[in-house]
A and B are shown apart, each in its own frame.
Chain A
Amino acid sequence: MTATSRSQLKCPTCRGPVEAAAGRRTKVFPFCSSRCQLIDLGRWIDEEFRISEPADQAGGGAESVNPGGDRE
């Protein structure tokens, strides 16, 4: 992690600039607006945020496919 200036702070949803003066965060931080925060929440609810890894590394193969369900 290299140090970055505050001006580079970007809203996770729209990539627009986010206001965050040193030590002061807005109510919707780290977003630029409650709108963008809401969209993000919707994406969590839709399970859009995922961490992916190739099937071979996850310890399971193609055999353990169970689309739409949990993997034990």
Chain B
Amino acid sequence: MTVKKNLLWIFLLLFSLPGWTQVPFFQHYVLLKNKSPLVNSFYQDKTGFMWLGTNEGLFKFNGTTFQQFTQVDSLPDNNVTAIAEDSLGRIWTGHKNGSIGIVDHDKITKFIPAEGLPSEEISDLLFDRRGNLWFSTLNDGLYYFTQDRLYRLDKENGLPDLFIYDLDEDDAGNIWAGTDGGLAVCTLTDRDATIKTIDARNGLPDNIVRKVEVAENRVWLGTEDAGVFMYEPASGVFRSIVEGTWRYGYVSDFAIKGNQIWIACPQAGIAVYDVIEKQIKLYGEKSGSSFVAVNSMLADREGNIWAASKTDLMRTYGDDIEYIETINPAKDPNIVAIARDKQGAIWFSNSEGLFSLSTDEFGESHSVKHLENTPYKKYSIISLYVDGAGYIWAGLYGEGVLRINPVNRKIVYISKELRNGNVLNVTGRGDVVWLATLGGGTQIKIDGERLTVKNYTRAEGLSTDYIYQIFVDHQNRTWFATDGKGVDMLDNNGFHHYENGLASKVVYSITEDANHQIWVNTQSSGLYVLDNNLFKPMLNPGSEQDDDISCLTADDAGNVVIFHNAGIELYDVDEKRFHDFGETVGMGNRKPNLNAFASDEHGHIYFGTDHGIVRYSPMKAVELTGPQPHIESFIVLDKKMDLSQLLDFKYNENYITINFIGFWFQNEANLNFRYKLDNNDRDWINTRDHSITYSNLDPGKYTFRLEVSETEDFTSAKTTELNFVIRSPFWKTPFFYIFSTIFICSLGYSYVKYRERRIRRDKEVLERMVKERTREIERKNLLIQEQTEEIKSMNENLEITVKERTCELERKNKALEEYAFITAHNLRAPVASVLGLINLMTKLEHDHEAREIIEHMQQSAEKLDTIVGSITRAIEKGD
């Protein structure tokens, strides 16, 4: 798709031949790679998807990809000729062979009523407000399905013809059918339908009504030969949208957008009728080959117009922006100044001179060169303006200004009255014209043919003589955009000066918005709004338009229109929002020229650029919806969930992927999303992806919120949300907690009870044991007592015995002592004498032998002494 889009815009630029005169930008779509299906019907469902019924099946489009359904997917027939949606959001398809299919969440089943189905092609399907299904056929009459039964209406019921093209429902619930025999208005009461016919006898200009659309209290009809009509049932009046004969062949479809009706005329192209301006224009073969054989039209909710031809599917945002590139015979497309006269011709100047351009209803433009045979032929025209009387003012580069009568081409040349002949800008209000020059501002009062010139310069109170633009506001105050000195304003009290707040004091343009606020455009510091003598900057958060703003003006509704190098922006004063027209409308590399713009009485604004003229027509009465967020799928552990069911998951089904898109057919690739999972994400998360995965979510209640916007600003973004619940694992649920608590408590309780019992039993056993032991002990005690008595008595006996023995022992001891004493003492005397004798012996002389015997006798005697001594000691020791 992008390749095709680039190819198209290269086409537009390079081949700006008479083929491509005045067209809005159309984006082309390719449904299939190697085939070009013929689109029979279009439908946009409540969610935002675009459904296309073709001869190669049914297609579902989300803005980027086409999903194809064919007989392989259970589609009853590959040739889809009608599409409708029921109250449950199911898509119903009607086919060439009379069959009907039902698409529910991308699954297709066949609708097979017991009464059978028609044998002819189904031309239209409709669900009325009560939910009944109506379908029309080509030559098999009109069918309706109510209360489970299928009924057929044919000529016997009053149907004017069996060949029915289209159906629509009015506010009262009547079904209008366009047939080969006029309009049939069917009213259903219970199961019966009554038919009222409106045909040529009632004033219907053409009995063959191919398209019917009821809008408020009017009925719009598209016919075979008489074109498009508006019918008022209340008055019975038919009004054609053209004066004179209809020249565009048969009408196969049309779509209503705001004040415009876009009509598919297969024999001529696309005709666009403006209800308010009562003008019709044609995008036909001369505008491009894709406009040939256009047979279906749809206006979607964004404001796009979709058109399908035999070979193409295309979409345009509308003719908000149209490009006039062919200005033959003028060659140079660099338009320096532009104005629009009261006859509808566009006056412009380029390097070749001054031209006026008229465009016919076929979109063909032709320019006429002016000033050829005048002395002003070679002058450079840098500004243009059409005054209150319809005269064209041409500001020259150094030579003053011309005032041209567009009817008789008479020229009034003003030069010497001006202080300076460099007229950068011409403007005015009523019968006053102002010239912005390099010598201050010049005011010219017009009184018929008399012009009174007054110059205002520094001497009169202007801050500087270099003026870029002058603007007269609704209070008739005159504002001057100066080169380097901010802004001056002239009112009944004289000159006032404003420059506080401006970062750059070089002001290029001034305008006024719906709230009567003054806007200015400065060199390299962007836009400002004057608030109580102080300039406040106005920035568009979504673009970098600070530099290069060449044109600043306001549309009919008072919204501010800005044209810079990247395109046109509209600031909506009510919504306080910038709306961007750039690449999406095929602006390309066009650069606007400084202050080169003009408005017409219908509110269209014409801009002069380096590549021709751009016409901007602000869409009125159309609600500009923003992009729509849509959650496509919700996948849990690789399984896709049914979003119509409650989303309730187990604790371990907590790996979730959410895929989403934004419906914005104009510029799907440029969408910004932000999402927030309540209960998980602390704050909004921005992304440009189309998918988010949450893994390992805790059990809980969640709400997933999604918003989408074209810019970074989400203040007016639409939200969609999805709720789901992850259940706690059973062991985390309160039930479980309570249960287990109870269980544990009861366990504990029973355990305690069990222990109690045990203890009691043990206690009993112990008590028994204790009793037994006590008895034994008592017995033993008795025994011991007896034994003690025995021992006592034995003890006493022993004592007596011991006493006796002791006495005896003492006696014996005493006796022994006496004996020992006596012995010892009795012994001692002899011993002593022996000793002494021996002693004497030693002192005598003896022979050797005798000596030895004496030594031996001494030794024995000493020994004996010792022994007696010890016995004596022993006895003494014993005392």
Q: Do these two chains interact?
A: no
